[in-house]
Amino acid sequence: MSDKLKIKLSVANRIYPLTIDPSQEEGLRLASQQINGLIKKFEQNYSVRDKQDALAMCALQIASSKKQSSLNEETFINDIEDRLSKMINILDDKK
């Protein structure tokens, strides 16, 4: 049984105690820093005063970025598959 680690993360000026696997710590700390940075950006650039609105905007931006990356990867894979298929057809025609 692996040892669990107890950490406290600050998100939107609230402290969240978590019990995690040690391998998750760095990712969670980086994620909380990213969220807090986005909140600060939204508060400065868009006059957002309500933390819940800022958190919703953060969630939307992070989720859409992740989804866009996934879509870009899918498009890239489809393009490679199309090119490989064309190459296979060319090689088959040469036989």
Mean pLDDT of 11-38: 95
| Residue 81: band (very low, low, confident or very high) from pLDDT cuts 50, 70, 90 | very high
Q: How far apart are the first and last CA of the chain?
A: 58
For the stretch 55-71, pLDDT in tens is 999 999 999 998 998 88
Residue 27 is predicted with a pLDDT of 96
Provide mean pLDDT across the span 14-28: 96
Residue with tokens 């996934």: 70
**Percent of the chain surpassing pLDDT 70:** 98
pLDDT at 2: 66
